[in-house]
């Protein structure tokens, strides 16, 4: 990441990063929202380079442009150049420089303050972190899995339904697991993507230390964001545990017949979360779960898998919402696309997607026509009574 300043001039600004594979639409969420070239990946990289060269002074507008990137990795997927895999690191590197210089948008600063002070970006009390849990047991040494719930799954009213249903499913399937409750700390994925490397290091070390002390060997996460950061960015903090996203675990439990499913008639379309799909190439397990439920018809949106259109919530935007306020906001665009498939349910595997889409269906006046649900909720509703 430190090398970004010596590499960033390599972007030609060809614009492939704006599209999905079949060019059917614009697939960069911030470009789709704002449409000025400055909000595309290429424009952003050129502006960062101009800032490094002193051709453009720092401004709040420049910082907004930089932080409006959701780090969804569509650009990495589509860029034809050899440096494609480095693009997100370059953006995170520039954000890190801005953080070090104290030059960040107020909304980003508030995000950092909240995580630092409260352990979550919503500024909610640590003691309320397990308010959703309703008796779900605490992790104890010897439990097979630590269920890492994450900030949204702990505090957000809608995402809590995902957490609850997952905890119930794991209990019913006889999985040995526990949660950290009020001792749980923010995973730091957004902090990393927003470039606050000092705070990220603190969170990664604190979490890793806690997991080690409890003897945790396996972690199952509700959020793809937590799954990503723990799997890919915790190694420097000495992490040596296995991380699973809950859809991987549920898929396995269904295959082993530990979760038995009955008829649930619904037309469902599925949103690939960026941190599950493009970041970690998990595309099949969520679909396998949905397809294993009798009565569910899975209808794909035109942009799916590596071409899925981001909900707009990445890089802390599920709280900061720098892309909100327009019919071109990614969440609103995406729920319209979901509705156009003829589906009555938009299935998600990520609490960020859930919160963004739940708001978006209301704004688009689709709440009577399209229901947004976590996959764990759908599975829970489909449980066989036998």
81 contacts other proteins (rule: CB under 8 A): yes
93 contacts other proteins (rule: CB under 8 A): no
Residues 282-321 that bind other proteins (CB under 8 A): none
263 contacts other proteins (rule: CB under 8 A): no
6 contacts other proteins (rule: CB under 8 A): yes
Tokens read off for 157:
């009213």
Residues 242-261 that bind other proteins (CB under 8 A): none
Sketch the per residue contact string, 39 through 68, with other proteins: x for CB under 8 A, - otherwise. Answer: ----x--xx-xx----xxx-x-xx--x---
280 contacts other proteins (rule: CB under 8 A): no
Strands 296-298 and 345-348: unpaired
Q: What's the sign of the alpha-carbon dihedral 11, 273, 311, 96?
A: negative
Residue with smaller CB distance to other proteins, 49 or 318: 49
3 contacts other proteins (rule: CB under 8 A): no
- Cβ 97 to other proteins shortest distance, Å: 17
Number of residues that bind other proteins (CB under 8 A): 36
Residue with smaller CB distance to other proteins, 36 or 117: 36
19 contacts other proteins (rule: CB under 8 A): yes
The answer to whether 295 and 264 are in contact (CB under 8 A) is yes
The CA distance from 189 to 321, in Å, is: 16
Location of structure tokens 């630590």: 146
83 contacts other proteins (rule: CB under 8 A): yes
DSSP output for 181-227 = GGG-----HHHHHTT-HHHHHHHHHHHHHHHHHHT--EEEES-HHHH
| 76-84, 214-222, 251-259, 343-351 -> range binding other proteins (CB under 8 A) | 76-84
What are the φ and ψ backbone dihedral angles of 96, each rounded to 5 degrees?
-60, -40
202 contacts other proteins (rule: CB under 8 A): no
- Cβ 189 to other proteins shortest distance, Å: 27
- For residue 264, the SS3 value is coil
| 28-36, 118-126, 195-203, 341-349 -> range binding other proteins (CB under 8 A) | 28-36
The CA distance from 297 to 322, in Å, is: 34
35 contacts other proteins (rule: CB under 8 A): yes
Q: What's the sign of the alpha-carbon dihedral 105, 110, 115, 121?
A: negative
Residue with smaller CB distance to other proteins, 108 or 347: 108
Query: E strand or H helix at 378, and its extent?
Result: helix 375-381
Length reported for the chain:
386
- Cβ 242 to other proteins shortest distance, Å: 36
| 78-86, 171-179, 219-227, 229-237 -> range binding other proteins (CB under 8 A) | 78-86
| 10-18, 167-175, 234-242, 368-376 -> range binding other proteins (CB under 8 A) | 10-18
Residue 241's CB is within 10 A of a number of other CB atoms, namely: 16
DSSP output for 340-360 = HTT-SEEEES-HHHHHHHHHH
Return the residue of 3, 4, 72, 82 that touches other proteins, per CB under 8 A.
82
Residues 316-355 that bind other proteins (CB under 8 A): 326
Contacts of 380 (CB under 8 A, 6+ apart): 165, 168, 169
Query: E strand or H helix at 244, and its extent?
Result: strand 242-245
Residue with smaller CB distance to other proteins, 88 or 276: 88
Contact footprint for other proteins (CB under 8 A):
6, 9-16, 18-19, 22-24, 34-38, 43, 46-47, 49-50, 55-57, 59, 61-62, 65, 80-83, 326
């Amino acid at each position: 990441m430190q090398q970004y300043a010596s590499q960033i001039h390599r972007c030609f600004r060809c614009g492939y990063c704006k599209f999905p594979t079949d060019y059917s639409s614009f697939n960069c969420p911030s470009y789709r929202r704002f449409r000025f070239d400055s909000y595309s990946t290429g424009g952003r990289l050129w502006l960062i380079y101009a800032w490094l060269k002193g051709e453009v002074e720092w401004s709040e507008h420049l910082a907004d442009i930089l932080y409006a990137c959701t780090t969804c990795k569509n650009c990495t997927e589509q860029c034809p150049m050899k440096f494609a895999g480095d693009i997100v690191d370059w953006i995170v590197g520039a954000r890190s420089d801005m953080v070090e210089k104290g030059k960040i948008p107020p909304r980003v600063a508030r995000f950092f303050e909240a995580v630092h002070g409260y352990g979550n970006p919503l500024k909610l009390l640590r003691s309320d972190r397990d308010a959703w849990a309703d008796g779900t047991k605490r992790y104890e040494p010897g439990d097979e899995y630590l269920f890492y719930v994450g900030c949204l799954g702990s505090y957000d009213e809608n995402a809590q339904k995902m957490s609850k249903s997952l905890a119930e499913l794991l209990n019913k399937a006889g999985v040995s697991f526990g949660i950290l409750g009020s001792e749980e700390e923010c995973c730091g994925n957004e902090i990393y993507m927003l470039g606050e490397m000092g705070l990220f290091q603190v969170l990664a070390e604190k979490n890793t230390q806690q997991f080690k002390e409890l003897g945790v060997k396996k972690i199952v996460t509700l959020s793809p964001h937590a799954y990503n950061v723990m799997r890919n960015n915790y190694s420097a903090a000495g992490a040596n545990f296995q991380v699973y996203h809950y859809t991987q675990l549920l898929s396995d439990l269904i295959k082993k017949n530990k979760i038995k499913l009955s008829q649930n008639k619904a037309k469902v379309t599925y949103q690939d979360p960026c941190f599950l799909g493009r970041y970690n190439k998990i595309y099949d397990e969520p679909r396998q779960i949905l397809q294993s439920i009798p009565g569910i018809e899975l209808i794909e949106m035109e942009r799916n898998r590596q071409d899925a259109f981001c909900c707009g919530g990445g890089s802390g935007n599920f709280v900061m919402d720098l892309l909100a306020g327009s019919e071109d906001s990614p969440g609103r665009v995406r729920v319209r696309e979901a509705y156009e498939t003829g589906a009555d349910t938009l299935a998600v595997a990520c609490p960020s997607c859930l919160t963004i889409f739940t708001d978006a269906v209301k704004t688009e006046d689709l709440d009577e026509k399209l229901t947004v649900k976590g996959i764990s909720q759908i599975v829970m509703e489909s449980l066989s009574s036998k």
